[in-house]
Structure 1
Amino acid sequence: MAAIEFVANSSLELVKTVITFLTDPKNFGTNNQWTLIRPATVEAITDKAILKGVGDGKDEIYIGIKIESSGAAGTDAAIVLNGFAGYDSGLEWEEQPGAIYHKYLPIIPLVETSRLNCWLTATTSRFILIIQLSTQYECCYMGFFKPVAVERQYPYPLAIGGSYIQGKSWSSTSAGHSGFMNPGSDSYGGLGALGTVPTADTPAQDTTSLRIRRPDGTWRAAQNKGPGETALKFEKLCVWPQNTKPTNVLTVLDNSLTIENVIMFPLLLYETYPAGVIGQLAGIYFIGNREDLAAKDTLIHEGRPYKVFSNVHRRDNDEYFAIEWF
């Protein structure tokens, strides 16, 4: 695992710094680093890039990053996130094999002219990026999650998560502007009577910040919350424990603040139809009732550091998480 903290002054500078770090063999060992497939060099990146990770040495993990500008005079920027099942040099970025086919892709919403403080932690299988934008924290998760499956039962467990979707702004305070660890939608998510199994996708389907690739090659959006209260009851995929609104989880105090002082849970991907835990997001943990913690705190657990952040603009007790920082 490797980690870096850096500052960027534009979305392009941010993307180039991330890719430079991921493709440096000194950070992962010879032949274990990520590979930049398109374009040929970091210097040649203008708005789009495709990367490949090696995973455990037998994998080929394909992800895509694209920069989009919007707003008056391009003041709003978005880093658009995608995942692929392969690479074809004859196809465009959006057309790569197995690409997310939903209308709106996950993004990291930014302000183009702002100073961006960034935290990046990466393995050969996935990376997590946190970006401080004024007093809020945007984020992404790109790469494999840990499936609950026997060997080869889940051949390509790819997760692509941001903190909003295409066409939306960093300034929104809606339910949809929420990190991949607690994905929401701006669309109503309920369907049918309480307790009734949905027979079709809800209106909120495919409009959230987190997508995973299922074993059959289809992409599924995860949703924990939305404008309607029943949105929590009917979505096909959610992230536990933050889908349960665990506000009053106990904090245990002692003389020194470490990761043992808080209750820390893995983030589990849980399908409701069909029901069952399908995997765990790697390197990130939910922190319960964190009244003694703040964003950017560093916790030490068994001699290893973890960085604490909050979900975008939220400061509620159940909206904090920690990422591995080693």
Structure 2
Amino acid sequence: MATEFGTATNHQNLVERLVQFLTANPDLVAAGQAYEKVFDNTLPASGTAIAVRQVTLRAPGLGGTDSIFMGIQSYGDTALDYYNVRLMGGTAFNPGAIPPGGDYWTAFANYSPRVQLLAWNQPMPYWFFANGRRFWIVVKVSTIYESAGAGFILPPCPPSQYPYPLAVVGSYRGDVATRWSDVSDRHRGISSPYERSCYLRDPAGRWLGFTVDGGAANESDYNNRTLLPLGCGRYAGSSDTVVKQLRDSFGKFPLKALSFVTRETEGRRNLGDFDGAFYVPTLNSGAEDVIVEDGVDHVVFQTAWRSGNPWLYAIRKD
């Protein structure tokens, strides 16, 4: 429904621009899909820790009748040289539950774990994409592409069966303060999340973590949850090699849905797909390319510093 591309002066300005985009973008306003800012507070700087801004937004959904609560938080440390943005979500928000000088995340009802995007305190290009039920953000930090998003996914069932399909995903787990230059395997993106960087609230109200990797860093309860298509090898041996061989055909690229799948005691379940974000083959495509599908532009990005196979994804320009 709405896009904005520009350059933020630093991570704090990035948050300000994102909040302004979600609450005041003319396309969102005209469609009745602008977000409402229900909380905005800044905790003062202390020592080398810079001021922490905490914003809670309520998204109205596509029809204006939903209440989707999402949080955005900027934080950083001048001595350790990190300047990051956290995302989270919940089913409601009560600012009266915040202790004096405390972190606002405890004011969310049924709150998710936090995920984050690793930014910095210098100018960085950004790409915002949003509709009334979810938003995506990508920033270019030096040569690194950071990505994150929050909002409702697209479940394969009516809302009566899955009333609050909220997901949060980032480039890195939200409980560790990390610099953007980190080159560990945990530093990923929205199409290839690792441990503690992608969560979905399931129909039973549980926050489930999803990953595409079976590495030792993942907790045991991740073994039965994955994000397709890159996570398919976790369920079927080497079948991920087929996905990695996909390429364009006469200039057309297969956009593969990013699907949440669990394999637990109740059997295998497809919980739904990310809205507006897709895996795209690497062959003959690269970061910031534009793919046209059904007459709609999709912008291609790489995963952090990784530009080879299979590290590309595309986000639809609504």
Place the TM-score, normalised by the shorter chain, in its bin: 0.7 to 0.9
1:249 partner letter: Q
Gaps of 5+ in 1: 186-207
Structure 1 residue 182: Cα displacement: 1.1
Structure 1 residue 75: Cα displacement: 2.3
The answer on 1:296 being equivalent to 2:288 is yes
Task: Please tell me whether the aligned partners of residues 150 and 168 of structure 2 are also in contact (alpha carbons under 8 angstroms).
Answer: yes
Matches within 5 A, 1:1-326: 1-24=1-24, 26-28=26-28, 29=30, 31-39=32-40, 47-55=53-61, 56-70=63-77, 72-73=78-79, 75-92=81-98, 93-100=104-111, 102=113, 105-112=114-121, 114-165=122-173, 166-167=175-176, 168-185=178-195, 208-228=196-216, 235-244=223-232, 245-246=240-241, 248-254=244-250, 257=251, 260=252, 262-273=253-264, 274-288=267-281, 290-326=282-318
Q: Secondary structure at the match of 1:63?
A: strand
Task: Please tell me whether the aligned partners of residues 98 and 217 of structure 1 are also in contact (alpha carbons under 8 angstroms).
Answer: no
Task: Please tell me whether the aligned partners of residues 52 and 73 of structure 2 are also in contact (alpha carbons under 8 angstroms).
Answer: no
Q: Secondary structure at the match of 1:129?
A: strand
Residues in 2 aligned to 1:315 and 1:13: alpha-carbon distance in whole angstroms: 27
Q: Secondary structure at the match of 1:154?
A: coil
Structure 1 residue 99: Cα displacement: 4.4
How many residue pairs get aligned? The number is 291
Structure 1 residue 229: Cα displacement: 9.9
> Structure 1 pair 282/217, CA: closer, same or farther in 2 (3 Å)?
same
Residues in 1 aligned to 2:105 and 2:149: alpha-carbon distance in whole angstroms: 19
Residues in 1 aligned to 2:76 and 2:219: alpha-carbon distance in whole angstroms: 31
2:229 partner letter: P
> Structure 1 pair 106/234, CA: closer, same or farther in 2 (3 Å)?
closer
Percent pairwise identity:
23
Gaps of 5+ in 2: 43-50, 99-103, 233-239
Task: Please tell me whether the aligned partners of residues 56 and 69 of structure 2 are also in contact (alpha carbons under 8 angstroms).
Answer: yes
Which of structure 1's runs of 4+ aligned residues deviate more than 4 A?
Answer: 229-234
Q: Secondary structure at the match of 2:15?
A: helix
Matched with 2:236 is: none
> Structure 1 pair 213/229, CA: closer, same or farther in 2 (3 Å)?
closer
Residues in 2 aligned to 1:68 and 1:96: alpha-carbon distance in whole angstroms: 18
Residues in 1 aligned to 2:245 and 2:217: alpha-carbon distance in whole angstroms: 22
Structure 1 residue 136: Cα displacement: 1.4
1:270 partner letter: V
Structure 1 residue 77: Cα displacement: 1.1
RMSD, matched Cα: 2.4
Matched with 1:204 is: none
TM-score (structure 2 length as normaliser): 0.84
Q: Secondary structure at the match of 2:79?
A: helix
> Structure 1 pair 23/229, CA: closer, same or farther in 2 (3 Å)?
closer
Structure 1 residue 314: Cα displacement: 1.2
Structure 1 residue 81: Cα displacement: 1.0
Residues in 2 aligned to 1:101 and 1:269: alpha-carbon distance in whole angstroms: 16
> Structure 1 pair 4/174, CA: closer, same or farther in 2 (3 Å)?
same
